[in-house]
Every structure is written in C-alpha cells, then in structure tokens.
Chain A
Amino acid sequence: MWVRCILALTGAALIASATVHADDTLPPVLISRQLSEGEHLSVGDVIRLSASDNGSNVRQFRIAGIYEPTPDPARLGAVIREVQLHLPDLLGLTREPSAPSGSEYVQTINVALVDPNDADAFSRDVRARMPGIDAQPASGAAESTGPFIVLRRFHLAIAIVTIVASTVFLLALSIMLVDERRAAVGVLRLIGLPIRRILLQLFLEGLLIAVVGSVFGLALSLLSEGIINRFFQWRYDTTLVFVRVTPQVAAVCVAIAIPLGVSATVVASWALLRRNGLRLARR
C-alpha cells in the first residue's frame, strides 16, 4: 500500500541516473508526471534521493510508476515535482543520524471509518483521548473555509451584477418589441379582445421566448464549459476542473432566466395595454 508521503524537492536533492537494468531489489517510488517530464525520467529508472541540500545520506530508489497529481487549487500555477515513497523509506531517508529509529513523526494520519457518518463523533473522541492531536472530518473541510468559499462568493457577486445588466437590457428590448406591435394590439383591442386575453397571449409568447432562450443559454454554457476548462487546464498544466455545469446550477439558471424573461414581457406589455385602443391603433 502506498502511503502518501510527499518528499518536496525544495529541500531535497534529486540526482537522477537512468540505468539500463534497474535493480528490482531497490525500494520503489512513484514520481509525478511533471517531474518525469521535466527531468526526463521514466519507469524503471534509478534515482538517488537525499533529504539534505548538501547531498548527504543519499539513497537509491527505483521508479515504479508515474502518477498524475491530485488536482489542488491551492497549488494552481506551481509545477508539481513530487516523489512518493513508502513511509518507512521516507523516515529512513529523513531521520537524523543521531535519532533512534521509531522516534520520527508524521504530520497527518488519514483514517477511513467503517461508517463515514461517525466522522464528527470520532474526531471528538480523538481530541478527548489524545490531547495535542487535532482530528477533523475530511468531508466538507475544503468547502467550509478557506479560499474556495470566498471565490464562490466572488463569482456569485459577479453573477448578480450580470443578471442585473441582463434584466435591464431585457426590459429595454421587451419594451421595444411590444411597442413594435402596438398597432396590432390596438386592432385586437378594437375588435373586442379583453386586455386579459391579449396579456395572456403576450405572456405565452414571453414564456416561449424565455424557454428557448434558456435552452440556448444552457447549450452555450455547456460549450463554453469545455472551452474554459481546456484553456485553463492547458494554461496551468493541471487536471483541475474550473467550470462545471451541474444539473443544480442549470436548474438555478433556468429558474432565474424564465421568470425574468416572462416578467420583462408582462411589465412591458402592461405599460402598453393600459393605453386606449384607439390611440394604440392610430398610425
């Protein structure tokens, strides 16, 4: 089992030497794709690792595989040069010569519970039984605090401004489109159709336009989702997903767009229908 112990190469010297016949008895390591590409390393190569910047206590390892690092928004823009070792290998590499074996420490222990719903109770239990150690449920930790919630608020604020701008334009367009049909509406009034009946017709037209517009908007967003993701994934060399149109997001957009579109049509129509039929029909 691979233990996720990441030896950051900031403080460690990596000296790579490809050998034709790699020694299978050497301890295996995994390296990140970015490190593999940057240093031209491939599976089976032997690398030498040291935890000190003066190159002491060098040990040899065999590259057993190349992995794609888990996308991490906090490391956006950074070239992820990572090596993953088995925990005993890492401790052996980083232990001070004077330190006895077994006195090392780790930063984090990941725990998989039988029932994930027990996470809160388990963390409380650990804190009570082991003072000095903090235990936190992993689920929702990334979303509850930190930059992600802030970015979500930022994008929400921009979305609100966009909606306001769209509403204003929509209202202006609706007024013009309804005004364009003032003569036709005037004739309908003069031949006896009640205001309610004409308003219903305009309402249904507005609804139809809003539905078609929403569907077109969703199609456009699905198309731009792919373009934006591909662009940013290329720009930052990551598999991170930047834009995701989920059914929930789509539902919220439709739930805002259709009532807004219909309301704009009805408000604009009402302003017109309040006028006298003769005045409307007059050229």
Chain B
Amino acid sequence: MNAMGFAWRSLVRQPARASLGVLGVAAVGALLFDMLLLSQGLVISMRDLLERTGFDLRVTATDALPGQGPLIPNAVERTQAISQLPSVRSAVALRFANAVVLAGAPRGVYTTFQGVAGTGAAHPWTILRGRDVTAGRPEIVINENTATRTRLDAGSRVMLRASCNGQEQALPPVRFTVSGIAQFPFDSPNGTTVATSLQMLATACGGNETNEADVIMVASQERAGPAAAVSDVAKLLPDLHVLSNAEAVNRFERGGFTYFRQISTVLTAVTLSFAVLLITVLLTVSINQRLGEIAALRALGFSRWRVVADVFCESVLIVGGGGLLSLPVGALLAIGLDHILKRIPGIPADVHFFVFQPSALQVHLLLLSATAIVAALYPIRIVARLPIAATLRDEVVG
C-alpha cells in the first residue's frame, strides 16, 4: 500500500477527528478564499464597469471626481472639438444635477438628474423600454427605480423640479415626457436617476448655464487606443484634466477602498496562521497517540522516509479535502458578504466586492499547499527522530 492509501486508512479509522479536521480547514479555507477574492474584487469590478460604458477617457475641469468639482465651460464646443480628433470615435458632455419628479409621492421623488450632449449616437445608458431622448425635445429617460416609485412608464408626462447648483433652489417645475426606461451603469441598487439632453437640463435649471458640463466622456478609436486619445485631448485642451480608464482605476485603487485590500491582507495572514497552528496541533496530537504504532511499523521494516511520507500525506489529505470543500463554501459565503457590503450607500449595483478570478484560485491553492507542508513539518520531525526500541519499550511497559 502506498503512503497516500495508508494515510487515508489512518484518517478513516478515526472518522470523527478526521471529519472535524477537514471541516475546520474548509471553514478557514473558505474565509481565505473570500479574502483573496476581496483583495482585488472591487478594483476589477470597477474596471469592468468603466469598460462596459464604452468610453475610455474622462475629461474634467479639475482632478476632482465628476460632479464634485467645477463645471467645464463651453462644454458643447469642446466636446465637438474633441470628437474631431483622429484618435477619438465619439465624445459626450455630461452634467449632473438633482431633481424632484413630481409624481408617485406627495412631495415627489428625489432623483439624480443627468444632461447629455455629444457627437456620438450612444449615450451613457442602455434603453430597456421605449426609446432614447431626442435632443431639443422635453423628453427624459428614467431608470427602473424611478419608474416604480413614480409609477411612470414610457409615454407618461410629468412635472420635474430641478436643483442645479447645490443650493436650495425654488426653480419652477418643467414638464417632460418620459420617452423610455433606461439602465444607468453607475446606479446604486436603490438609486433613482433621470436623464435628458444637456439643453433641456439647462432649461430646467433656469436657462442660465446652457453650455457647462461636469465631465466629457470620450471613446477612442480602436486602432489609436486610449493612450493616444489621452495625449491628443491633453494637447487640444491643456486647461482640462484627462483621465483614462486605467488611470481612473489606479486612482480608485489608491482611494478609500484600499481599506478592503488592507483588511483582506490582514485577515489572510491571520487565517493562514490559524490554519497552520491548528493543523499542526491536530497532526501532532494524532501522531503522539500513535507513536507505538509508528515505532512498530518502523520495526517491521518501514523506512524513515516512508513514515514521514505517511504523515505528510495525512496533512495533504486533511488540507486537500478541506481545501476542496472550501471552494463551494467560500463561493456561498462570498455571495452573502457581497450582499452585506453592497448596502454601502452610493455603490453602483453592478459593482461587486468579491469577484472570482483564476489568479485568486491559484493563490488559494498555493497558500493551502504551503499550509499543508508547514503544518506537517513538526509532526514529521517527531516521526523522523522517533527512537524505535525506546518507544516500543515505553509503550509496552507504560
């Protein structure tokens, strides 16, 4: 019988302790797997989301996030100038405001209000029902949450009161027609969003700021790539800040959400130490109980390397079994933890904290393999140095 088969029989002979060992490794392994998914999950998810919007570059007035800094003046002309660059496919100017849709509730429904103007046919949202807004017409698209809460649908007419400069304003309400229901990529699960053309947003804002935007979103030509587009836009408009998706992700990575990466590193270290310590104790106690048996095997002709291999295979079986079990358990746990974390206000619905990636699985397997080896070192040392005659005498006399 080979070492693995012998180790298997040793474990099966004591099913309770073997099962508990495997279950313990599964629980710790699941936590370890989740921490590995968390370490890069948010950044990967945000990168996917940015790429799915179809725009490679974001142009803003300052290095503040869109909507948090000053507006870009002459936004429409600048958007047109950007779109004529050879490395650019299309560009749209986007302005953010707030609005109360006067429907569905006595005081209306508070929403984020977006206005868009640009050269490309694509807007930064996806139409689910109805049709897109037509420039120059008093039309809006609304997201599903707004539709549900205001009980509006494509074709409905509604009054909307905008609030455009962060101050309490008493602007007159403006009548709009809902042209369609849209999905906005950065909507939070409970977020309510309304969008129209930049011109109609300016009208709703009192008509004083008709040509300003928070951000110009640019899609680069495939053959030129985002780097060339960044360079061209920066040369064309040196007073504005240009950020590619990769730079935005880097910035995001360095921002406040690095907390999750740090906490995942700390928990990974703690979890691994915990696993090594406990498997070492399990194996050591188990070996100490079987010293007489191991000495007898040595006396019967088992080599030192053979009994060392038996102990190592036991460690591999416990960690391997627990590790395999940890993957489905970890996946279920990740869904639950992701559900908890996504309740943080302002997190887009399509962003996830725990994202599976093959590299996380590879690191998981590598760490578990290292755990199996390190945890087996001390018991292996006991077995390798076991004095056969003295042990047999002690066991028999004792």
Binding partners A and B: yes
Q: Which residues of A contact B (CB under 8 A)?
A: 10-11, 53, 74-78, 105, 132, 145-147, 150-151, 153-154, 157-158, 161-162, 164-166, 168-169, 171-173, 175-177, 179-180, 228, 232, 235, 271
Q: A147-B344, A161-B27 are in contact. Are A10 and B68 (CB under 8 A)?
A: yes
Some 24 contacts from A to B, beta carbons below 8 A apart, are A10-B68, A11-B64, A53-B62, A75-B256, A77-B254, A77-B255, A145-B345, A147-B345, A150-B340, A150-B341, A151-B344, A154-B340, A157-B337, A157-B340, A158-B337, A162-B274, A165-B31, A168-B20, A168-B24, A169-B21, A176-B282, A176-B289, A177-B285, A235-B262
Q: Which of A76, A154, A228, A271 has the most CB of B within 10 A?
A: A154
Partner of A11, one of B69, B285, B345: B69
Q: Which of A74, A77, A154, A172 has the most CB of B within 10 A?
A: A172
Which of chain B's residues have a CB closer than 8 A to the CB of A157?
A: 336-337, 340
Q: Are B285 and A173 in contact (CB under 8 A)?
A: yes
Task: Report the minimal beta-carbon distance from A242 to chain B, rounded to whole angstroms.
Answer: 9
In the complex, whether B221 has a CB less than 8 A from a CB of chain A is no
0/1 interface trace, chain B 27-62, chain A, CB 8 Å (1 if under):
110110000000000000000000000000000011
Interface residue total, chain B, C-beta cutoff 8 A: 44
Q: Are A105 and B345 in contact (CB under 8 A)?
A: no
Instruction: Determine the distance from Cα of A38 to Cα of B24 in the docked complex, in whole angstroms.
Output: 49
In the complex, whether B150 has a CB less than 8 A from a CB of chain A is no
Which of chain A's residues have a CB closer than 8 A to the CB of B28?
A: 165
In the complex, whether B124 has a CB less than 8 A from a CB of chain A is no
Q: How many A-B residue pairs have CB under 8 A?
A: 98
Q: Are B344 and A150 in contact (CB under 8 A)?
A: yes
Within 8 A of A (CB), among B317-345: 333, 336-337, 340-341, 343-345
Q: Are B256 and A173 in contact (CB under 8 A)?
A: no
Which of chain A's residues have a CB closer than 8 A to the CB of B341?
A: 150, 154
Q: Which residues of B contact A (CB under 8 A)?
A: 16-17, 20-21, 23-24, 27-28, 30-31, 61-64, 68-70, 167-168, 254-259, 262, 266-267, 274, 278, 281-282, 285-286, 288-289, 333, 336-337, 340-341, 343-345
Partner of B62, one of A11, A169, A173, A176: A11
Instruction: Determine the distance from Cα of A22 to Cα of B336 in the docked complex, in whole angstroms.
Output: 59
Q: Are B345 and A146 in contact (CB under 8 A)?
A: yes
- Interface SS majority for chain B: helix
Task: Report the minimal beta-carbon distance from B375 to chain A, rounded to whole angstroms.
Answer: 12
Q: A77-B256, A157-B336 are in contact. Are A164 and B17 (CB under 8 A)?
A: no
Which of chain A's residues have a CB closer than 8 A to the CB of B20?
A: 168-169, 171-172, 175
Instruction: Determine the distance from Cα of A59 to Cα of B64 in the docked complex, in whole angstroms.
Output: 24
Q: A76-B256, A161-B333, A172-B21 are in contact. Are A105 and B27 (CB under 8 A)?
A: no
Q: Are A132 and B256 in contact (CB under 8 A)?
A: no
Which of chain B's residues have a CB closer than 8 A to the CB of A78?
A: 255-256
Q: Are A10 and B337 in contact (CB under 8 A)?
A: no
Task: Report the minimal beta-carbon distance from A237 to chain B, rounded to whole angstroms.
Answer: 13
Which of chain B's residues have a CB closer than 8 A to the CB of A153?
A: 340, 343
Q: Are A173 and B31 in contact (CB under 8 A)?
A: no
- Closest-by-CB residue of A relative to B61 is A53
Which of chain B's residues have a CB closer than 8 A to the CB of A132?
A: 168
Task: Report the minimal beta-carbon distance from A258 to chain B, rounded to whole angstroms.
Answer: 19
Q: A154-B340, A157-B340, A180-B285 are in contact. Are A172 and B68 (CB under 8 A)?
A: no
Instruction: Determine the distance from Cα of A176 to Cα of B14 in the docked complex, in whole angstroms.
Output: 10
Partner of B31, one of A10, A147, A158, A271: A158
A-B contact sample (19 more), CB < 8 A, given A10-B64, A161-B31, A271-B16 = A10-B68, A75-B256, A76-B256, A78-B256, A150-B341, A150-B344, A158-B337, A161-B27, A165-B27, A166-B274, A168-B20, A168-B23, A169-B20, A169-B21, A169-B24, A175-B17, A175-B20, A176-B289, A232-B262
Which of chain A's residues have a CB closer than 8 A to the CB of B167?
A: 105
Q: Which 3 A-B pairs have the closest CB atoms?
A: A165-B27, A172-B20, A168-B24
Which of chain A's residues have a CB closer than 8 A to the CB of B23?
A: 168
